[in-house]
Chains A and B, each alone.
Chain A
């Protein structure tokens, strides 16, 4: 019996290694999503103070838009923020924000510092709606087409290399 205790570390490591191996097989930038090509989940989230109007399923569709899940405590969100500002400002892409597990005061300050690219923001204080969307962590970005269906999902921060492909996809969806 006593010998068995000493095997525990090796077993725990085997599990972690299996997880890492599984994680490697997935491209961290493009995790497949069960939600692709499905309509956006049904939700209605309250507004973030008077920063932007609230966000609900009915607000999506009609126009090709991005839905970006963000939080002020999330460092990669700060990294991708300038890109969202460019998409919203220069390219006029509608961006909707889901503010996940954040303090409203922190989120307001975050947007005051870095600028607000969002047309509407839904406050997802307990992360329930993010689960509906199948979000792994923040930041994540979804492309929603004119019919309100999720067409693309990007896990993690958007980088400069994602700018052009994302724009191209939006253009394509606008024309289709």
Chain B
């Protein structure tokens, strides 16, 4: 009964979304306040209905109702409760329902928190949000209905893919989707602005918090996914340029660009057409990501629902949403009044450079990801999808970006003094050289490119500190006065500096983990020892351990450095009988500058086990860096100016609004 109620709520949500997507839009065109006023309650109702549907499905999973096909295929009565709940989105139908839920909740949030929006803009934004919802609700109900029943119901379920039964992955999809779908708000604002025919500082200020929120959650979502791959897949990598990873990374790059170009719109009233385009592209890439993952167009280890029929539906949706908005852009964007002028060397100039590099990087990843379809479009030469391509194209774009990231915030608006800014960054340059020297001393000086990477990371972190120091005029005015300035510095300024510093830490982690990873594979008898880089690993024993829906061989490994015992860890090999699938549970002991990563391999049948040991330098810095970036974003989000919203719009000459 509850399942049918969920199904009904979903169908009702479609009708509400249809009303939300059409009536307010019509009303906004005619200036009908009653029709425009429908948008907010409709958005809230749609959010509540989809939430009810999601709750119903969650209930079916929690009580293990195997008469629901989706539950029978993806759950098992012996599964721990956490994974029964997370199993809701560990499959195609459920994850699409989560997608729609987040879309509807964002719409409801705009309706509830958008009190200071002009009614016409608000009606249009919510209508666009509603129309996107219509598309996805149709997709869900027509091709991916999660509420279908099974008759007769099986006695027990087929269980969730064991790789997905993991706390890291439990929260990875919701975070990722919050980011993906969060970009829908910026998209709706962009399309609404195109319909209205104007973009101004106030518009940019309304869009920024939503973009920032999407960016923070997407950053965390990607980091969680990378963390999961790192410890769960058991081969010690953290980024594989997998199509599904790229699908989340491309929107991230574009949202990052959008975040920065929106500043230029807000402060200088320039780059308007470009910012609108970025907002459209960010959401388009989120949709494209959904398409790539769901259609099976690309083969990937992640693709858990390969179904061309769904692919056709999503592609049609893509063509309507993206194609439609880009056509609207082609027609309306040229009419947007060009804004303030600026010299190439200026804050605006630096942000344009940021945008160019980030969007080129996104295009690079896009080409690499679509390669199997694009084939020989790039000058006839065959380029492989995979690490070699991305390392050759993506990394060279990031180097100038990181160099410029430290300089940009020190430049003045309109026209800036580059040599002055560089002069103030001498300490960051010195820190970079020092860091490279330390890294060279620790690593033996190779590879040289990694030393450059470490230097860039230090340059960026200290550069961010210099930015704050400059703003508070540290050492140039009395310390008390500096402190007072620091206290009154806007949170968005702190947030930006912190996010930049976090990027520096992440860069250091990425460089060190790629360049100085050490590993060892050896067959070790119980009681035997192996050595890697100053650490001794002793395989004490291997025990059989039962779990709720698996059994495991669990090793006890003592790690020593000289005479000192560093840690005792327990890598496992698990076997999930329902899916007949083994997984490795790596044991990771982190020293914060180095991860000791121990994996238990196969037994050789004569009392010895294959052991794989990795030393992963600075890998924790990747997650720390990403967390700091997101924290910077959240701090910026809490800035009073964003909460209070924008000052009243300037009045436009009569008639301009309908231009």
Q: Which residues of A contact B (CB under 8 A)?
A: 2-3, 6-7, 9-10, 13-14, 16-17, 19-24, 27-29, 71, 73-76, 78-79, 100-101, 109, 112-113, 127, 131, 136-138, 155-157
Contacts and interface: CB of A to CB of B under 8 A. Distances in A.
Contact of A131 (B382, B519, B521): B382
B277 A13 contact: no
Interface string B270-305: 000100010011001000000100011111110000
Given A17-B318, A20-B291, 9 more contacts: A6-B329, A10-B323, A10-B329, A17-B315, A23-B297, A75-B242, A75-B301, A109-B521, A131-B382
B117 to A, nearest CB: 26
Given A6-B273, A10-B329, A127-B382, A156 B311 contact: no
Contacts of B445: none
B164 to A, nearest CB: 14
B85 to A, nearest CB: 27
A17 B382 contact: no
B483 interface: no
Interface in B370-395: 370-375, 382, 384-388
Nearest to A16: B370
Q: Which 4 A-B pairs have the closest CB atoms?
A: A156-B299, A10-B326, A23-B373, A73-B387
B648 interface: no
Given A17-B318, A24-B315, A27-B308, A157 B323 contact: no
Contacts of A20: 291, 297, 315, 318, 370, 373
B373 A22 contact: yes
Contacts of A2: 334
Given A9-B277, A16-B370, A28-B299, A137 B521 contact: no
A7 B298 CA distance: 28
A19 B366 CA distance: 13
B594 to A, nearest CB: 20
A79 B301 contact: yes
Contacts of A101: 384, 386, 388
A73 B92 CA distance: 27
Interface residues of B, number: 47
B370 A28 contact: no
B385 A137 contact: yes
21 contacts: A6-B273, A10-B329, A13-B326, A14-B323, A16-B370, A17-B315, A17-B319, A17-B323, A23-B372, A24-B308, A24-B315, A28-B296, A28-B297, A71-B384, A76-B299, A76-B300, A78-B235, A112-B521, A137-B384, A138-B386, A155-B299
Interface string B7-23: 00000000000000000
Contact of A19 (B300, B322, B374, B388): B374
Interface string B594-606: 0000000100000
Nearest to A21: B315
Interface string B347-387: 00000000000000000000000111111000000101111
Contacts of A19: 370, 373-374
B330 A6 contact: yes
Contacts of B644: none
B281 A9 contact: yes
B298 A28 contact: yes
Interface string B308-334: 100110010011001100110110011
Given A9-B281, A28-B297, A155-B299, A73 B382 contact: no
B240 interface: yes
Contacts of B298: 28
Nearest to A130: B382
Contacts of B631: none
B261 to A, nearest CB: 15
B388 A10 contact: no
A63 to B, nearest CB: 28
Contacts, number: 104
B612 interface: yes
Contacts of A21: 315
A119 to B, nearest CB: 21
B608 interface: no
Interface in B491-535: 519, 521
B330 A7 contact: yes
A100 B384 contact: yes
B369 to A, nearest CB: 11
A73 B386 contact: yes
Given A131-B382, A138-B384, A24 B326 contact: no
Contacts of A78: 235, 301
Contacts of A76: 299-301
A109 to B, nearest CB: 7
Contacts of B299: 28-29, 76, 155-157
Given A17-B315, A101-B384, A113 B235 contact: yes
Contact of B372 (A17, A75, A137): A137
A75 B296 contact: no
B306 interface: yes
Nearest to A72: B387
Contacts of B280: 9
Contacts of B308: 24, 27
B595 to A, nearest CB: 18
Contacts of A79: 301
Contacts of A75: 240, 242, 300-301
Contacts of B323: 10, 13-14, 17
B250 to A, nearest CB: 12
Nearest to B296: A28
Nearest to A114: B235
A13 B322 contact: yes
B386 A71 contact: yes
Nearest to A79: B301
B245 to A, nearest CB: 9
From A13, A19, A73, A75, name the one whose CB has the most chain B CB atoms within 10 angstroms.
Answer: A75
Nearest to B323: A13
A18 B609 CA distance: 52
Contacts of B386: 71, 73-74, 101, 137-138
A83 to B, nearest CB: 13
Contacts of B521: 109, 112-113
Q: Which of B370, B382, B612 has the most CB atoms of chain A within a 10 A radius of its CB? A: B382
B82 to A, nearest CB: 25
Nearest to A112: B521
B416 to A, nearest CB: 27
A22 B373 CA distance: 8
A86 B284 CA distance: 42
Interface centre among A28, A109, A136 (most CB of B within 10 A): A28
Nearest to B333: A6
Contacts of A27: 308
Contacts of B295: 24
Given A19-B370, A24-B311, A10 B300 contact: no
